[in-house]
Structure 1
Amino acid sequence: MHKPLLTALAISLTAPAFAQRTDYPIQAVPFTQVKLTDNFWLPRLKTNTDVTIPASFARCESTNRVKNFEMAAAHQGKFATTFPFDDTDIYKTIEGASYSLSLYPDAKLQAYVDELIAKVGAAQEPDGYLYTARTIDPAHPHPWAGKERWEKERELSHELYNAGHLYEAAVAHYQATGKKNLLNIALKNADLVCSVFGPGKRSVAPGHEIVEMGLVKLYRVTGQMKYLTTAKFFLDARGQFPGYDPKSPDGWKNGSYWQDDKPVVAQTEAEGHAVRAEYLYSAMADVAALTGDKQMLAAVDTIWQNMVAKKFYVTGGTGAVPGGERFGANYELPNTTAYNETCASVADVFWNQRMFQLHGDAKYVDIMEKVLYNGLISGVGLDGKSFFYSNAMQIKNSQGYHDTEPARAGWFECSCCPTNLARLFPALPGYIYAQNGKNVYVNLFVSGTANFAVDKHKVQLTQQNNYPWDGGLKFTVNPAASTSFNLLLRLPGWARNEAMPSNLYSFVAPSSQAISVKVNGKKTAYTVQNGYAVLARKWQKNDVVEMTLPMEVRQVVANPLVKDDKGKVALQRGPLMYCAEWVDNGGKATNLLVPATTTFTTVYKPELLGGVMELNASVPAVEVDAAGTAVSTVNKTMTAIPYYAWANRGKGEMTVWFPQRVLDVDIVSQATAEASVSK
């Protein structure tokens, strides 16, 4: 196994237009330099390696995704799956397997990946074109593809989307193994793309963004400017189609759905299909960092602020509206129809990591943490092979009805979410630490050891904690020799009485506890910079930093403009949001009230759901008598579990938001209820 080639070739930025900034000022400590021992995340990464990745490859085989490449190589047969972007499930799983190989060398897995890469290469056309939905039978391509190459790229074909995931997989595989077999396939395809698209050539705003991010990664590996300029060209191509028109027969499917109603530098809101949007915003951050484009930077900053202030669920989910899997209007955050695609959470992690690297502000990591511990890992079952495509906020009745998805599934006809998770999990260690010269950032609280250098002096930093269950954090600093640098520990917003870096959500009452920081057992004063405790000192071997975060159960309220959450509270402890499930609460969950005066007790249950901190409280519950003619409230012991762990014990009621008191009673006929369930 080769060492990762994370800076494979020197990047040359000689073009005058790109001279203002060479890269992100803050760089992540590569995931290969971080070894986890964490009780919360390490088992999940291991499950991803042992279960999720093999299951994804097996399902790519059994659902004919692999067969599509074999038929494309033979130029015979009929496209055997549903969507022209099904190729990407193989690319994403290869990406995840590559990251995994960096952490857990596996000769059998590596041989299988090489076999798949050979099949991908055989399906590639001589000029670099790679798209099985056309190559299998060019005379009769997939209906979404159009008669000619790229003809329907904006609307349906996903040709460039496929290419983007190919590039991302290729770079991951190259960095993990040092092999160029997949990278060469990707570069051949990218050279074709660069020859077809650009000034004076074909122009299109890619219908499903990610090719822009992939091209940036190829630029970083090769130093070839054409990949960066083509990525920027695709961004600049936007703004050609009108936005939402309520009179349009296409309804929501318009320019804003594709983020194509305005030039990117003029966009101010998170809009349209959430996954496409957040891939776009990630690419905007990349290009702004690499080119110094201040207009693009200002635009992506404005869009981010709009999302966290008006279009973000308390669990970290994004994309509220099922129709078009898209962001809704400002403050449109319904619970019973919440969509919250798992892929959108993956994309949100990518975006917020880039925003942090641009600005060095803890608020971006606060958002990333909320997504990671709640709305993202809710997307995969504890078994590692059952998934949510959408992530509900409320299941309203005992039959488990939800407008989008009532239960986990092993695979989907459109199976982008399982394979997206497969590639994110093994890369997680790369999100924990970052560095800018003598500033070393600790962003996520995950036990393990990181190795990096400050002024060419080797430093080892070890975390020991039981996060997210316990707020006691320990960091041991081991420089090879005494070394001066600034250790920046993130002070989570939730530990500073800030439920969100906006007024979208807030805590009902302030915490009475404060964050404490000690160095070598002595309480230490520190300065706060952009949400970080800055510890500036000359570090000696075995220096120990201890930080204690308050871990009370907090009630959260939404901005009054979020209509669905008026008069309701959500429950938070540390970074985790909680929910009530039917199985713990006498068969129901949506009948529970949580008055402002409610006090909670906590108990860790190692045998429950892989080990969780459970919340308990005595609360009123609304009940209907046996005759169905009287309504009353009775006191019950309410049990709440971390939101991420729901739907691992069957199907039934669940809720994240709890009414504080009864304001009204809706009387619904049995026929109406049955009609709702049968939708």
Structure 2
Amino acid sequence: MLDIPKFGHNVVGEVLISIKNFGFILCLTLLGCAEKPETQVSTESSFGYKIIPADIRQVKLTDEFWLPLVEKVQDKTIDYAIEKCKEEGRLENFLIAGHKMEGKTRGVMPFDDTDVYKIIEGASNTLLSAPNPEMEMLLDTLIDIIAVGQEEDGYLTTWRTIDPASPPAPWVAVVEGKRWESLGASHELYNAGHLYEAASVHYRATGKKNFLDIALKNADLMVKTFGDGQDQIQNVPGHQIIETGLLQLFQITADSSYLKLAKYFLDNRGREGHHKLNGPYSQDHVLVVDQDEVVGHAVRAMYMYAAMTDIAAMTGDQAYRNAVDQLWSNMVDKKLYITGGIGARHDGEAFGDNYELPNLTAYNETCAAIGSVYWNHRLFRMTGDAKYYDIIERTLYNGLIAGLSESGTEFFYPNPLESDGVYKFNQGACTRKSWFDCSCCPTNMIRFLPSVGGLIYGAAGSDVYVNLLVGSEASMDVNGGKVSISQKGSYPLGGDSEIAVNNDSDKEITLKIRVPYWARKNPAPGPLYTYTSAPEASGTYTINGKETNINIDSDYIEIQVAGKAQVNVKLQFDMEVRSVKCSELVAENKNKIALEYGPFVYAFEEADNKERWEELKNKSFSDWSVSYNESLLGGVNTLNADGFTAIPYYSWSNRGIGKMMVWFPEVSN
């Protein structure tokens, strides 16, 4: 690698001015790109999973709801986050660690490195579906900067390299100032996990190994360092994600040592006598296969359960399978918010007790919602059960996208279901903020949203799944041939959708179109939420002029498509305003209702109801009407009755600080 001249304190700001110009070419020239050894790559794609999702490279988003969100991340949020990382020294830390700059660790969190990794992962996801040479060149620059900070043996956590005895956060204990000595808090393995996840996506997006080789060098160090062998460390990560990261590397390289280490970390979590246990906060209180209640830090839990599901699928371990089934049931039956949010408590960013679901003080971290989608997608791929997509869809349209502002540059960390306009729930604010000292949620939104195209379709044998009604065009390998699918329609604002399928294979396929949860009898799996009056019908679908009623009890509409045949399916789901009741075991929501229209949960916001806000506490409503307002909040359906207006929950707090509530008193007419 070429030597880098010494720069002043603002080196990154001087070199990486903007992704919109070519200032970063200078950085590429200065940093160079060393040749790396060839990586052996596996072509296996399922790794024990029953269902293979459509390759995001073969999915083109055309949806009028989701495409603008993804473009906003690509055009605004990524650039904005890079600027923030430059301002706060995230990039400089790699150069300081590599002795190419002088200085102390910038930032206040031991996991600041991961913000850069997650930006690369999100940007790489945009490259999967939309090649962009300028973006790809920027990523090469960021990767070269990261490479500077990696130690010779593969170690990569910049704060520990810069000054191992001086962590940026006071809650990271220092004993001798050595690697690995405080894994419960140091986030060294968490940093590695996000490195592996990002490098895997970047490799799939570009075919380049510059980032992957950095990750593999680090992973090989982990394999050498941790285990039960002589001179190895017996311990587990404090914050999980290295497990799924290692399993991503296993899927790319087929190197079983990565699979073994991931399972080692999981097998020994909660094992008495193996290491000093970190307790329920880190899901390190009992063996993972004996856990049957979701507890502790919600994000850590989601990443761990996702890894456990990977292990169940990849190895056939039935104990892991039984555990994730029980954990999922506990979460959905007793600890899930109507928005799909999870994690009731600010204290510990954690799950509460069963049925502990406060509204004003709800935590519902954005990262936890994202983690829930990752986990539920794995569960679906393992089983083919639509109930997991019921949770995915509810989370996507409500608790997850609420984390990003209409502008793309402000963020929610927690996502409460009520605001009094005074309580500063969002890290010192009662509206979205432009950034956080702990900026995991903004960069996780960047990481996740561009990947949404990979959630729409899947295939298993001759079955082709359409799991989300999202405007798109896709091509999949099924039965030794190509199957092309296109979707268009008014969803999610309206209930109509049209799906065209071209089966170019010689064999018959079964098209399985998922019926959205809101078009069936219950708003979610389990007993936690019910409609006050169950819908009598779901709607209709039409093929070649023949109309058929959708079975309200069916998860999927199944249609046989002969080989070398085409079919055009027109769907019309009955979309109406529905009132939802919560289990009486949730004290906070007793004698209250919430409103839904299509996949959206609705909220009252003070901006629309300021003069009559107090009336909402004792108001009975007549029939609701639905109006589309193109100029409001990017274009939304509002619910209107008796002079009151409700908006989709995800869109609240884009008009300044004010009151908001999802659940309101049920008053008889």
Give the TM-score taking structure 1 as reference length: 0.88
Number of matched residues? 619
* 2:649 aligned residue: 643
Are 1:516 and 1:549, in contact at CA under 8 Å, matched by a contact in 2?
A: yes
* 2:246 aligned residue: 215
- How far did 1:538 drift? 1.2
Secondary structure of 2:595's match? strand
2:109 partner letter = F
Instruction: Pick one of 42, 49, 61 that aligns with 1:9.
Output: 42
Between 1:481-490 and 1:313-322, the stretch displaced more is 481-490
Are 1:517 and 1:547, in contact at CA under 8 Å, matched by a contact in 2?
A: yes
Taking the aligned partners of 1:541 and 1:199, their CA distance within structure 2 comes to 57
Q: Are 1:165 and 2:194 counterparts?
A: yes
* 2:138 aligned residue: 112
Taking the aligned partners of 1:130 and 1:440, their CA distance within structure 2 comes to 42
2:556 partner letter = Y
* 1:59 aligned residue: 84
Taking the aligned partners of 2:164 and 2:186, their CA distance within structure 1 comes to 14
Secondary structure of 1:257's match? helix
Are 1:337 and 1:403, in contact at CA under 8 Å, matched by a contact in 2?
A: no
- How far did 1:181 drift? 0.5
Secondary structure of 2:476's match? strand
Change (3 A) 1:396 1:559: same
Change (3 A) 1:539 1:553: farther
- How far did 1:465 drift? 1.3
The within-5 A match list for 1:12-23 is 22-23=47-48
Q: Are 1:224 and 2:255 counterparts?
A: yes
- How far did 1:517 drift? 2.0
Q: Are 1:174 and 2:203 counterparts?
A: yes
Taking the aligned partners of 2:516 and 2:597, their CA distance within structure 1 comes to 12
- How far did 1:596 drift? 6.8
Are 1:381 and 1:408, in contact at CA under 8 Å, matched by a contact in 2?
A: yes
Change (3 A) 1:72 1:370: same
Taking the aligned partners of 2:508 and 2:528, their CA distance within structure 1 comes to 40
* 1:72 aligned residue: 97
Are 2:474 and 2:485, in contact at CA under 8 Å, matched by a contact in 1?
A: yes
Secondary structure of 2:494's match? coil
After superposition, what is the alpha-carbon deviation per residue over 1:275-305, rounded to whole angstroms, capped at 9, x for unaligned?
0000000000011100100000100010000
Q: Are 1:570 and 2:594 counterparts?
A: yes
Taking the aligned partners of 2:613 and 2:512, their CA distance within structure 1 comes to 41
Secondary structure of 1:369's match? helix
- How far did 1:576 drift? 0.4
* 2:227 aligned residue: 198
Instruction: Pick one of 401, 406, 411 that aligns with 1:382.
Output: 406
Unpaired runs of 5+ residues, structure 1, are 1-6, 13-20, 243-252, 619-636, 663-679
Secondary structure of 1:324's match? helix
Secondary structure of 2:508's match? strand
Q: Are 1:89 and 2:115 counterparts?
A: yes
Are 2:110 and 2:167, in contact at CA under 8 Å, matched by a contact in 1?
A: no
Are 1:598 and 1:617, in contact at CA under 8 Å, matched by a contact in 2?
A: yes
2:652 partner letter = W
Between 1:454-463 and 1:550-559, the stretch displaced more is 454-463
- How far did 1:530 drift? 7.2
Instruction: Pick one of 141, 147, 152 that aligns with 2:182.
Output: 152
Taking the aligned partners of 2:616 and 2:165, their CA distance within structure 1 comes to 60
* 2:664 aligned residue: 658
- How far did 1:203 drift? 1.9
Change (3 A) 1:30 1:239: same
Taking the aligned partners of 2:339 and 2:559, their CA distance within structure 1 comes to 31
The within-5 A match list for 1:134-533 is 134-138=160-164, 140-142=166-168, 144=172, 146=174, 147-153=177-183, 155-200=184-229, 201-240=232-271, 255-397=279-421, 399=422, 402=425, 405-480=429-504, 483-524=507-548, 531-533=555-557
2:213 partner letter = N
Are 2:412 and 2:426, in contact at CA under 8 Å, matched by a contact in 1?
A: no
- How far did 1:597 drift? 6.1
- How far did 1:231 drift? 0.4
Secondary structure of 2:430's match? coil
- How far did 1:189 drift? 0.2
Taking the aligned partners of 2:115 and 2:612, their CA distance within structure 1 comes to 37
Change (3 A) 1:365 1:590: farther
Are 2:90 and 2:106, in contact at CA under 8 Å, matched by a contact in 1?
A: yes
Change (3 A) 1:598 1:400: farther
Change (3 A) 1:10 1:105: closer
Taking the aligned partners of 1:496 and 1:349, their CA distance within structure 2 comes to 21
* 1:634 aligned residue: none
- How far did 1:141 drift? 4.6
Are 1:606 and 1:612, in contact at CA under 8 Å, matched by a contact in 2?
A: yes
* 1:131 aligned residue: 157
2:574 partner letter = P
> Sequence identity, in percent?
46
* 1:627 aligned residue: none
Between 1:45-54 and 1:95-104, the stretch displaced more is 95-104
2:653 partner letter = A
Taking the aligned partners of 2:63 and 2:411, their CA distance within structure 1 comes to 23
Secondary structure of 2:238's match? coil
Taking the aligned partners of 1:590 and 1:223, their CA distance within structure 2 comes to 61
Computed over aligned residues only, the root mean square deviation of the Cα atoms, in angstroms, reads 2.2
Taking the aligned partners of 1:590 and 1:446, their CA distance within structure 2 comes to 38
Between 1:536-545 and 1:340-349, the stretch displaced more is 536-545
Instruction: Pick one of 575, 579, 594 that aligns with 1:555.
Output: 579
Secondary structure of 2:281's match? coil
- How far did 1:588 drift? 5.9
Taking the aligned partners of 1:654 and 1:158, their CA distance within structure 2 comes to 36
Are 1:267 and 1:303, in contact at CA under 8 Å, matched by a contact in 2?
A: yes
Taking the aligned partners of 1:647 and 1:108, their CA distance within structure 2 comes to 34
Change (3 A) 1:589 1:48: farther
Taking the aligned partners of 1:649 and 1:526, their CA distance within structure 2 comes to 40
- How far did 1:480 drift? 3.0
Taking the aligned partners of 1:357 and 1:349, their CA distance within structure 2 comes to 12
Taking the aligned partners of 1:526 and 1:638, their CA distance within structure 2 comes to 33
- How far did 1:532 drift? 1.5
The within-5 A match list for 1:579-658 is 579-587=603-611, 589=613, 591-593=615-617, 598-618=622-642, 637-658=643-664
- How far did 1:137 drift? 2.3
Change (3 A) 1:529 1:69: farther
Give the TM-score taking structure 2 as reference length: 0.89
Change (3 A) 1:590 1:99: farther
Taking the aligned partners of 1:62 and 1:402, their CA distance within structure 2 comes to 25
Secondary structure of 2:610's match? coil
Are 2:593 and 2:663, in contact at CA under 8 Å, matched by a contact in 1?
A: yes
* 1:44 aligned residue: 69
